[in-house]
Structure 1
Amino acid sequence: MNQQMMPFGNQPAGFGQPGSFSPPGGGPPPPTSVNSQTGPPPRQFLDGNQQPNPQQKNFLPPHSMAPGGFMGAGEQGSPLNLGPVNKPPSALPGSLPQGTGPLKGLPNASPGAGIFPPTSQSHTGVGELQGGPSLAQGPGQFIRPTGPAGFINPGIVNNRPSGVQVLGNQQQQHISGPSGTPTNIPQQPRPPFANVSPNSAPHQNMFQSPGQMDSNKQFVNGTPQGPIPGMQQPQRMFNYAPQSQMPPVSGPMPPTSSSMPPVSGPMPPTSSSMPPVSASSPMPPMSGPMPPTSGSMPSGLGSMPSGLGSMPPGPGPMLSGQGPIPPTQSPMPPGPGSIMSASSNTVRPMYPPPPPSSNMNQQNLNMAQQQQLSGPYLHSQDNRSMYSPTQGNYNTDGFGGPPPVQQNNMRYPPVNQAPYQPMNQQYSGLNQNYSGMSSPNYPQPPAQQKSQRKLDPDMLPNPIQVMQDNEKSRSGIFYTDQKGLMPPLVTTNFVTHDRGNCSPRFVRSTTYSVPFSSDLLKQTSVPFALLISPLARIGEGEQPLPIVNMGELGPVRCIRCKAYMSPFMQFIDGGKRFHCVFCKATTEVPGEYFQHLDHTGQRVDRYERPELLLGAYEYLATKDYCRNNQSTEPPAFIFIIDVSYNNVKSGLVHLLCSKMKEIIRSLPRDEGSEMSNMKVGFITYSSSVHFYNIKSCLAAPQMLLVSDVNEMFMPLLDGFLCDPVESEIVIDLLMQEIPRQFADTRDTETILHPAIRAGLEALKASDCAGKLLVFHSSLPIADAPGKLKNRDDRKVLNTDKEKSVLAPQNNSYSSLGEECVKVGCSVDLFIFNNSYVDIATIGEVSRLTGGEIFKYTYFQADIDGERFISDLKRDVSRQTAFDATMRVRTSTGVRPTDFYGHFFMSNTKDIELASIDSDKAVAVEIKHDDKLTEEDGVYIQVALLYTSCGGQRRLRILNLSLNICTQMADLYRTCDLDTLVNYFSKQGIFKLLESSPKQVKTDIMNRCANILACYRKNCANPSSVGQLILPECMKLLPLYVNTLLKSDAFSGGPDMTCDDRSFAMHCVMVMDLTVSVVYFYPRLISLHNIDPDSLESPAPIRCTYEKLQDDGVYLLDNGVHMFMWLGMNAPTGFISNVFGVPTTPQVDTDKTALPNLENPMSMRIRRLIDDVREKRHRSMRLTVLKERDKMEMVFKQYLMEDHSTDGSPSYGDFICHMHSQIRTILS
């Protein structure tokens, strides 16, 4: 060991021999193979080496480890039911008279039997999507799980769920009117059902009277037909299913793209090269006016006279009891050369919506053959909310419905069908693999089908509308006194009043009605999981958690399971004993804690004790809960600064030292304390490690250099960790001297592992917990412990070989992280890289200790300095728990099994966190041990034992109670979609390190399809299998699953590097709900029409390029990145006021901050950007770009409703793919 101590000014430059110069990021070539890693025990997730360590000390009291006090270890869940593909059948000919339709999805169902939720259940339907075969036609496709189809209760057959359906056979063009929660309708009789062979036509209208011909048949041997005149329309549903037998019709035949003999008569020009058709060709009769067509076609599609799409008005809608309507001769329907633009706002009614009727339990809207409906949603007490079907068909290029018999012969579009007219982008990736997604190659459609009309996003479930509706209905005060009460969305502004259950800011569940058995839960494929943010920030107007001091007695606990006293405990025997709701044991009440009961069985001091009244509170822990049964010291922050060439040249060292005084003033403190009790220390390193003595009595700081980095030790005991207030003068001198001392360094070969160990040894010697803030620049290639090789290879990303660059290349940093956890030492990494640094490996030390990673690629102090300092201040100042252990207890019948997040587990129950702060969350999956009863419910208690910033040992207790359900409808009614998606993301990130990305994405998509298929089969009203029906609480599930799979953590764009991908994966694993909802669906707001005098935040718009106007300015952020998009024709007044230049081309896009201009618009926009950054957990760099710039391709990657350049589908395409999978499962 070489140790030197000298005052400043006497050291040689660089504090030792400078290493030989080599280019930054240099190193040996990447290895040809990767060291294999031994995986952790089954179901122990992201927790490092999880074998029980006999030397590991348990810091809970000895009686907390009593045998039988806790539930068993996690066990492997049932594998997904995979099997061969069941292709959806084609629509069969013929019609089925009333009473002979099969009860969809229920084998051997008796007449009238069915599974329907109560009338309060609502669901959103997305109607029939007709098209080709399923996208997923290879191994790994889900089939309908075996087992009972459900629980049949004939007594509630007519008490069906309310709902609306969107999308028909071939997807509608528009849906008008606001969205909202569907209202209930009175009960009514339903036509009886008889057991029919499964081979019955899947699209048969089950409400059709005997002998009645389906008025919606439109195909006869491939020829499109119109509605039959005089046919009576059923009031119950608009179900236009294609049939194969139809009577002949008259009128001209619509033009086709196939070869036909020449005919006489003029033909207007079209964009396709096909001969005109005879004017005497048959024309299907129409019962109403034709939808208008645009007078001109977009560029490249030719043009048409404006009047060719018009048609005289017809007799109007066919109502019940109306007599036959004679056919009318109509002009030629619009052909491929004269279609209405997909973005056209012109709407003309064909079939007006039926009048409100108690008959209309459910609207089944089939897109293939429906015409335009006008009018908004209907809202009333007696009538259902329903989507208005709109004109236009949508061919999904191979998916979305039953496959045609001969795809090459599908050349005759239906009457109301028109070719696809591109809006902003033409999606060309349908026939490619979905970036490693589940499905095999998308089927190749015929060339002529590529011109089909694209699905209008406005007709799909709108996430912005859902958030706004929830804000209107659920904002205000949220009381937690009801068991299993669903909380408002995380995007809603609400104030929690704790009345027995903790705030949803701390704990959220994927469902608030837990199925009574594991079989019922498996059928739904909905996971029962919790998202826990134990230190989440309380909302404005909410009370901080009270602290209960029980003195030497300590917290009162159950004698068997060691659960802490909570409002759920029941006192008996006059208050002498209490009954535990978690394990059913009875415990004697300590004499010091005894109190009499009132006439209701409640303690008379209930309102004076937070642990008996509130769902969240804290205990002051006794010495039994402290390490080595000794009082704890205040934690410490140690700043470990890389002073090698790269950090000095970029200006980082100078910037950090100049801002250190501000940073230290931001140190956290306990509630009620005026000053922080935390201590600070400083270490610098390059190829050697330097410790600093900053004792307040010194006239100048002293440095101790350790050059033997192979055996790191702590050379300084007294004076290393000091109170920053007492040593303020010495620290200021040190911050002035460090930049001067290393200004001329040429050391480029850095170390990292020894520097982190130096901080670990310092905390261990001081016998206190703390956090290491490491500021590192390059791949550690110096000859020292933790030396790494350069294995950068971005070509393997999104392939089966990506684990070779996303998994750690050795276990040196994993072992170091485990050592840090044992002493309560957390590590936050601030990476300033110009090249590959292998975040997948060095990030292990942060992952296992509950730390976080911040990355600033190509850092420049003048550009990125403000963002870095902002992130550092937030990291230092936020509420943090040190040396923490968390345990989740549940009532009998369920138990926690799987854990996802940044932490370490030495056993199957305790989550060990060297630190956890207010911005981090942990996901825990819970599984059944036994059947549950509705009377008992499910009770959950989260206990976090930690050291506060002031050095107090505390216990934070969070309680939550959930309902038990026996019907699937109750589960679907109380699902929290945001929590579900957050759980899927954390589970998926873990699985990416074990299996291929394609398989991971396949599993997520299949699970999504099974969730929706189970709802359709067991909870929705009977309808054609061609209709996609979505539960109200999960109508955005296809959108969010698609955005999750397209995110940087799972896919990323073509410019994604290995470090970028690893960084994104680390970010997702610690995200709480407030961040994940923005990360997976970024917020896009318009700036050009903002009121400079308004204080309200502008409402976001849908995240798609179609919402951008070339005369607008828009701001987009996802919590990590922020973009400002300038249209080519952006208002000159706005550009001048905000950027100080007259026109958009003159805007300097290299600037990352807006100029400080003294005008209301400039101040309003800058204030808005600051507000957005304040709501996020990271300070986002502002990237300004112009329309059609090169950076626009990067910007488009975050428009999550659009298709991506890597072939990832758009929202509309993905929902069609989901529908195809659901049809396969149901068939």
Structure 2
Amino acid sequence: MASPAQQLPPGWAAEWDANNQRYLYIETATGHTQWEVPAPAGPQAPMDAASQFSAPTHHSKRRQYATGQTQAYYGAPADDNASLMGSNQMQQPSQLFTPGLSGPGQFATQQQQAPTHHEGGTPDYINGPDQYQQPMYGQQDPNALAGQFSQMGLGGSKPFQLYTANLLTSPPDPRDLSLPPPEIRLPPNASLSPSPTANAHCSYQRSTLNAIPTTSSLLSKSKIPLALVLSPYRSLDPGEAPVPVITDTVIARCRRCRTYINPYVQFIDGGNRWRCCMCNMSNEVPQLFDWDQARNQPGDRWSRAELNHGVVEFVAPTEYMVRPPQPAVYVFLIDVSHAAVQSGMVATATRTILENLDRIPDEDSRTKIAIVCFDVSLYFFSLPPPSSPDTPAEPSMLVVSDIEDVFLPKPNDLLLNLGEARNGGALENLLGRINDMFKDNTVIGSALGPALQAGFKLMSPIGGKIMVLSASLPSLGVGALKNREDPKILGTSKESGLLQAASPFYKTFAIECSRAQVSVDMFLFSSAYQDVASLACLPHYTSGQTYYYPAFNAGRSEDAIKFAHEFGEVLAMPIMLEAVMRVRASRGLRMASFHGNFFVRSTDLLAMPAVPQDQGYAIEVQIEETITAPFVVFQTAVLHTTCYGERRIRVVTQALPTTSNLSEIFASVDQIALATLLANKAVERSLTHKLEDARDAVFNKLVEILQTYKGSMTAAGAGASAQLAIGENMKSLPVLVLGLLKNVGIRQSAQIPPDIRAYSQALLTSLPAQLLIPYIYPSFYSLHNMPPEAGTVGPDGVIMPPPLPLTSERLERHGLFLIEDGQNIFLWVGRDAVPQLVMDVFNLPGYDVLRGGKTTLPILENPFSQRVNAIVQKTREMRRGPYYPHLYVVKEDGEAPLRLWALSALVQDRADVLPSYQQFVGSLKEKVNGNGGY
């Protein structure tokens, strides 16, 4: 008689445990694995097990939860699958307080079905407006809740069945990277509000784990680092609702831990007090919390934004100010040496400033501006007020050639109010003339350090932003640097020295800037070595950003357009001024280490003189003591001045459940957040150790995770060693790690110039996850045979083609392909491309006359050209941030360097000494099984 395992459907595999009458594992034809499956009774047992395992198709890639768990979560029958999809808020009643009719401070309770939204009108009272009733649940003592959940995992007494993927038979699917992170399954009624926005969206804050281990030992056992990935000041997508602003200046905060009131607190004592979700402190509700100050009448507590939204912004009262809110200040330091003028940088920069004067934030008419030029001397420009409305003021240039002891040649008229400087066209007149003033400049050399000191002296009493535009290596005065580029040490253990700052001046000066609320942005243009590693220190410690344009030549329209677009976007960007950021967490959790562009002022206070939009940060979290609460809360608060002169606090709140179950920890891993953290840690390690150490650390961390998963989540059966098991939600982690190992920032190579590598590292540590993931795992599309709707406009804008895996196996000789990583776009043209395709896209008669390299696509009068142009345009617009990627045409048999650069984006292929994805997974399997490795 055949064993039950032999009666499974075709293509399935299983191992049958006859002693215990169960399957050690069942693997479907698609590679999904389930471990330790009890056999149903009856003659059809094996087929029943198979049908149970392959139950509804929409669950094929979702975590399955056991009966007790779904009941504990939703209060619904576990077999009612339809009720499991987002119905918990309709199933459970919610406790609501409603302000009494006699003014603020009078409360009643209401117990009713949780509404999907709050509407106006007076609700029904149960026992009159002055009587407080104990809620049915949701507002219980946290210790009682802890006891209730202590024997459960994420709310259920039985562990759920964790789906496992076999990496050897499950090739990466790029579509997985656009999936949302694992669902955050909070206990019933954890939130005061049924609002879907009560928890911060993952684009503002996400955790590497969406279920927090209750003990440090459990976290260590999982080998998954616990960290938050933040982008608290991200830009808004078109049509997206803005962050709610609370203008009544009523800010409720915990007296002990200073947490801001949020959807996860509890109201007690008839609604007159609230219990902090972080430290359990009981606090008084502010008197005006339920008063509508605009209409001067009682307000609806439940419509307050801070109780319904995980991301809010408070307008801060005067006690949040050390001084009156500062105006926005922009000081431009423009290199006017021979190289800068000849490259066209000076003309492009001044024209871009001129064209964007109306976009510079100045709603309160307080913005100030100054322009300082430099080569081996410093050139200041004084703009006196016009003598008459019809006569523009004549700017005067003041030259300071003493760069050893920098001074301001004039106390006034150097830093001017933007509106006043434009009065009579004086500023426009100056910007239009700067390039002509220096067009015949033959001076070679750069006194960047003294220019920075001058800019600092101009603005240090106020603070603001220094924008440096430099086209050569600083060679004179403080901060002078030497060319240390040495091809002989590239690819050796000494290479990491080139990625560290060569002079202490830049870090010391950056910290001085941070104290004075001055931020620095660097725009670098040199065609020769410029020591990006040293200069990037300034933005790194002052919360600025580095932009790099190697071999910039404004004579190429593509170069001029890219720089003008990015510089213009930075000028127009609303920024947070004189900001400080602190992340608070529930008792037992501590912020341990910080990654990103800022200066750590005290143990956990991050100083950010000017926070640009769409900058990312990563913060590692330690578990210091056993967590007994059923869920924990992380809250990021950024106190800042808007560039419109208003002091505000942006508060981002995220609640996550706790668990003592290792399988739930693995099922909750957010692979995007984890890859973002690993990128930050790899760069940090390459600077403190060696590049090789950074690569080894990332690889070994992945091996640790796989070994732990194998040891604790899989059965040690005969088929176990033939697999490389990982959770479905982590299936893309190996290819993301491979992409990181192949990224220019840490890749093993002796051919990468140190400036290119240093700039890549600056991106790896400052890009938000939405930009970072395509930077390490680019997008790859086939255009010649894309679906007919691709490139046309749908309900959500231009429809993109389906992404392809990053392997050259998908390239076809007659095809047209697009590869992009957020920084560059490659159009790959196969050598057998038909003449009609070349004509339709490039307006050329055939492949032979097509030239490779940087280009601008023509927009032609045919549908295919318009669709391809729409996809290129959408590619440039769909990522957050100011970046405007260059477009390169790459011919299959064209220039070798360009072809190899494009192919290096196909990270699943073998390149030089770097393995293909199959080789990489093979080496992982050997290492996990203890037989060697990468």
TM-score, normalising length from structure 1?
0.60
Q: Give yes or no for contact 1:547–1:618 (8 Å, CA) kept in 2.
A: yes
Matches within 5 A, 1:364-403: 380=56
Taking a change above 3 Å as real, the CA distance of residues 990 and 1204 of structure 1, as seen in their structure-2 partners, is same
Residue equivalent to 1:883? 578
Deviations 1:1114-1136 (A, max 9, x none): 11111122211110011211101
1:745 aligns to 2:441 (yes or no) = yes
Shift of 1:566: 1.6
Q: Is the CA contact (8 Å cut-off) linking 1:162 and 1:384 kept in structure 2? A: no
- Secondary structure of the 1:564 match is coil
For residues 1115-1130 of structure 1, what are the structure 2 equivalents within 5 Å? 1115-1130=818-833
Match of 2:493 in 1: 800
Q: After superposition, where does 1:197-276 map in structure 2 within 5 Å?
A: none
Q: Answer yes or no: is the 8 Å Cα contact 1:798–1:1051 preserved in 2.
A: no
CA distance in 1, matches of 2:14, 2:380: 68
Unaligned ranges ≥5, structure 1:
1-97, 99-124, 129-156, 166-174, 191-233, 237-354, 363-377, 387-455, 486-495, 597-602
Pairing partner for 2:535 from 819, 839, 842: 842
Match for residue 597 of structure 2 among 902, 906, 910:
902
1:1197 and 1:838 mapped to 2: Cα distance?
A: 24
Which one of the candidate residues 511, 528, 544 is aligned to 2:209? 511
- Offset, 1:540: 4.2
Indicate how the Cα distance of structure 1 residues 652 and 483 shifts in structure 2: closer, same or farther if over 3 A, else same: farther
Tell me, yes or no, if structure 1 residue 1141 matches structure 2 residue 837.
no
Candidates 442, 451, 473, aligned match of 1:755: 451
**Structure 1 Cα separation of the partners of residues 730 and 831 of structure 2:** 38
| Letter of the structure 2 residue corresponding to residue 680 of structure 1 | I
Partner AA of 2:470 in structure 1:
H
Is the 2:592–2:619 contact (alpha carbons within 8 Å) kept by the matching residues of 1?
Answer: yes
Aligned residue for 2:320?
A: 625
* Superposed CA offset, 1:244-269 (max 9, x none): xxxxxxxxxxxxxxxxxxxxxxxxxx
Greater mean deviation of Cα atoms: 638-647 or 563-572: 563-572
Q: CA deviation at 1:682?
A: 1.0
Aligned counterpart for 1:1165 among listed residues 836, 845, 868: 868
Give the CA deviation at 1:186: 7.8
What is the 5 A alignment of 1:714-753?
714-728=408-422, 729-753=425-449
Matching of residue 685 in structure 1 with residue 374 in structure 2: yes
1:992-1046 CA distance string (max 9 Å, x none): 1111222222222121111122122212344332322121111122111111111
- Confirm or deny that 1:1015 pairs with 2:676: no
Alpha-carbon distance in structure 2 between the residues aligned to 1:732 and 1:163? 73
- The question of whether the paired residues in 1 share the 8 Å contact of 2:223 and 2:704 is answered with yes
Give the whole-Å Cα distance in 2 for the aligned partners of 1:382 and 1:562. 44
693-702 vs 996-1005, which moves further: 693-702
The structural deviation recorded for 1:744 is 1.1
Whether contact under 8 Å (1:777, 1:831) holds in the other structure is: yes
Most deviating of 1066-1075 and 653-662: 653-662
Corresponding letter in the other structure for 1:1195: A
- Look up the equivalent residue of 2:887 and give its one-letter code: L
Match of 1:1068 in 2: 764
Distance 1:834 1:158 in 2: 71
1:833 to 522, 526, 538: 526
- Specify the alignment match of 1:1209 in structure 2: 915
Counterpart for residue 563 of structure 2? 868
Residues 225-374 of structure 1 aligned to structure 2 (within 5 Å): 356-358=47-49
Moved more, 1085-1094 or 835-844: 1085-1094
**Matching residue's letter, 2:834:** P
Deviations 1:71-94 (A, max 9, x none): xxxxxxxxxxxxxxxxxxxxxxxx
Q: Provide closer, same or farther for how the CA distance between residues 361 and 789 of structure 1 changes in structure 2, counting only shifts above 3 A.
A: farther
Flag the 1:777–1:540 CA change in 2: closer, same or farther, 3 A: closer
Offset, 1:591: 3.6
Separation in 2, partners of 1:570, 1:633? 37
Q: Which residues of 2 match residues 458-497 of structure 1 at below 5 A?
A: 459-467=169-177, 470=179, 482=186
Does the 8 A contact of 1:894 with 1:929 survive in 2? yes
Give the 3-state SS of the residue equivalent to 1:960 in structure 2.
strand
2:665 is the alignment partner of 1:971: yes
Following TM superposition, by how much is the alpha carbon of 1:900 offset from its aligned partner in structure 2, in angstroms?
0.5
Whole-angstrom CA distance in 2 between matches of 1:899 and 1:738: 42
Q: CA deviation at 1:607?
A: 2.1
8 A contact 1:1116–1:1124 mirrored in 2:
yes
> Are 1:1112 and 2:815 matched, yes or no?
yes
Residues 703 and 825 of structure 1, relative CA distance in 2, 3 Å threshold: same
Higher helix share: 2
TM-superposed deviation, 1:676: 6.9
User: What is the alpha-carbon distance in structure 1 between the residues aligned to residue 449 and residue 506 of structure 2?
Assistant: 7
Higher RCO structure (Cα 8 Å, ≥6 apart): 1
Displacement of 1:966 in angstroms is: 1.0
1:187 Cα offset (Å): 4.5
1:1183 to 872, 875, 888: 888
Query: Aligned letter for 1:941?
Result: Q
Aligned mates of 2:13, 2:568 — CA distance in 1: 47
Q: What is the alpha-carbon distance in structure 1 between the residues aligned to residue 862 and residue 52 of structure 2? A: 56
**Matches of 1:745 and 1:1085, distance apart in 2:** 47
| Alignment check: 8 A CA contact 1:184 1:381 kept | no
Q: How many residues align?
A: 788
Q: 2:780 aligns with which of 1078, 1084, 1093?
A: 1084
Point out the structure with max Rg over C-alpha. Answer: 1
**Aligned match of 2:929:** 1223
Deviations, residues 118-164 of structure 1 (Å, cap 9, x unaligned): xxxxxxx9999xxxxxxxxxxxxxxxxxxxxxxxxxxxx99999874
Shift of 1:385: 8.4
Gaps of 5+ in 2: 4-11, 63-165, 293-297, 388-392, 794-798
3-state SS of paired residue (1:1221): helix
Partners of 1:647 and 1:653 within 8 A in 2: yes
1:1042 correspondence with 2:731 = no
- Relative distance call for 1:458 and 1:527 in structure 2 (3 A) is closer
Structure 2 residue aligned with 1:661: 354
Residues of 2 paired with 1:1226 and 1:586: CA distance?
56
Q: Which residue of 1 aligns with 2:655?
A: 961
1:365 aligns to what?
A: none
1:390-429 paired onto structure 2 within 5 Å: none
Write the distance in 2 (CA, Å) between the matches of 1:126 and 1:651. Answer: 66
Query: Equivalents in 1 of 2:267, 2:282: separation in Å?
Result: 9
Give the conservation status (yes or no) of the 8 Å contact 1:867–1:1180.
yes
- Percentage identity across aligned positions? 27
1:661 CA drift (Å): 2.1
Among 910, 916, 922, the alignment partner of 2:617 is 922
Q: Which residue type is aligned with residue 508 of structure 1? A: R
Note if contact 2:910-2:917 (Cα within 8 Å) is conserved in structure 1.
yes
Partner residue in 1 for 2:157: none
Structure 1 residues 550 and 457: CA distance shift in structure 2, 3 A:
closer
| 1:1193 pairs with 2:908 | no
The answer on whether the counterparts of 1:498 and 1:615 sit within 8 Å (CA) in structure 2 is no
> Tell me, what secondary structure is at the counterpart of 1:1009?
helix
Shift of 1:914: 1.5
Change in CA separation of 1:382 and 1:801 when aligned onto 2, cut-off 3 Å: closer
Alignment correspondent of 2:227 = 529
Give the C-alpha shift of residue 578 in structure 1.
Answer: 2.1
* Greater share of residues in strand: 2
Q: CA deviation at 1:464?
A: 2.0
1:776: how far off? 0.2
Q: Which amino acid aligns with 1:887?
A: R
Kindly indicate whether residue 587 of structure 2 is the aligned counterpart of residue 587 of structure 1: no
**Equivalent-residue separation in structure 2 for 1:898 and 1:161 (angstroms):** 41
What secondary structure is seen at the aligned counterpart in 1 of 2:744?
Answer: coil
CA distance in 2, matches of 1:615, 1:466: 26
